[in-house]
Amino acid sequence: MIFVSYFSDTLMPQMLIILALLMAGRIRG
């Protein structure tokens, strides 16, 4: 289950940041 905690701790925030950037870019563009 270490992999699951690693996945949730590292990839999830990155995905949220990427989604936020995409939304911001779409609103700007």
Residue 2 has what pLDDT? Answer: 76
Cα separation, 7 vs 13, in Å, equals 10
Amino acid found at 28: R
Residue range 7-24, pLDDT digits in tens: 788 888 899 999 999 999
Is the pTM for the entire model greater than 0.85?
no
Task: Please give the tally of structural domains in the chain.
Answer: 1
Domain that holds residue 26: 1-29
Asked whether the predicted pLDDT for residue 29 surpasses 80, the reply is: no
Stronger pLDDT, 27 or 7, i.e. the higher one:
27
Cα separation, 27 vs 24, in Å, equals 5
Place of tokens 């992999």: 3
